[in-house]
């Protein structure tokens, strides 16, 4: 079993992201997951059993202002996981993607979540992972009902989508941030890397 759970969440205005923040997000959130999959899948295929669980986000289904960079990486993980699930199912290997809403960790430091953007707890995600390992599914949202809401939102016309985002508070929650409260996290996140150097790579 592989649980791909590393990730960083840059938030704020798109034009405010530094080159380092962009590279770090892509390397950790996308390249790190790809690297993990490449390392374990050959052995799983050889044994004809195994399970890869990639932790993505609801941001991989519905993007909101202030999360453009983060959403780009999580949309990629959802697509990667879906394609891998279909490719490796005939070889006895499961690939799943967990898509939680905002999670009560330091990733949301400095944001004002609540109401429709109320975060879930890390324990909720852990429980979803356990259920997925026991009964494999390709896509799992946390909470479960969120997937249907996100799917419906994705098909709304732009004006309706923006109206709904304004009503639920998601249009500003990652733009109106407390930069001081996020400073320590952002500094660590920008220094993170998903690169893995191996002889011959």
Q: Given a cut of 60, is residue 198 above it in pLDDT?
A: no
Residue 201 domain flag: no
Domain count, the chain: 1
3-state secondary structure of 136: coil
Residue 67 domain flag: yes
Residue 200 domain flag: no
pLDDT of residue 164: 85
Q: Given a cut of 80, is residue 196 above it in pLDDT?
A: no
| CA–CA distance, 8 with 110 (Å, rounded to integer) | 15
Q: How do strand 139-142 and strand 93-100 relate by DSSP bridges?
A: parallel
Residue 25 domain flag: yes
Q: pLDDT, tens digit, for every residue of 123-177? A: 999 999 999 999 999 999 998 877 777 777 878 898 998 888 888 878 888 888 7
Residue 197 domain flag: no
Q: Which structural domain range is residue 170 located in?
A: 2-144+151-191
| CA–CA distance, 41 with 38 (Å, rounded to integer) | 6
| CA–CA distance, 85 with 51 (Å, rounded to integer) | 10
pLDDT band at 199 (very low <50, low <70, confident <90, very high): very low
Residue 33 domain flag: yes
10-8-84 Cα angle (round to 5)? 120
Could you tell me the CATH number of the domain that includes residue 27?
A: 3.40.50.720
pLDDT band at 116 (very low <50, low <70, confident <90, very high): low
Residue 172 domain flag: yes
The residues annotated with a catalytic role in the active site are 70
């Amino acid at each position: 079993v592989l649980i791909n759970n590393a990730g960083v969440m840059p938030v704020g205005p798109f034009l405010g992201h530094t080159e380092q923040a962009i590279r770090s997000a892509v390397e950790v959130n996308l390249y790190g997951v790809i690297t993990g999959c490449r390392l374990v899948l050959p052995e799983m295929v050889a044994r004809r059993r195994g399970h890869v669980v990639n932790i993505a986000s609801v941001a991989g289904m519905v993007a909101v202002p202030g999360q453009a960079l983060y959403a780009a990486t999580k949309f990629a993980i959802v697509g990667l996981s879906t394609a891998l699930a279909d490719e490796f199912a005939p070889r006895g290997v499961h690939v799943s993607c967990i898509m939680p809403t905002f999670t009560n960790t330091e990733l949301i430091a400095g944001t004002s979540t609540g109401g429709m953007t109320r975060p879930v707890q890390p324990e909720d995600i852990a429980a979803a992972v356990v259920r997925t390992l026991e009964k494999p599914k390709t896509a799992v949202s946390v909470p479960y009902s969120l997937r249907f809401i996100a799917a419906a939102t994705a098909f709304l016309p732009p004006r309706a989508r923006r109206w709904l985002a304004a009503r639920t508070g998601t249009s500003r929650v990652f733009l109106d941030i407390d930069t001081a409260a996020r400073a320590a996290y952002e500094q660590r996140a920008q220094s993170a890397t998903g690169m893995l150097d191996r002889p011959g790579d």
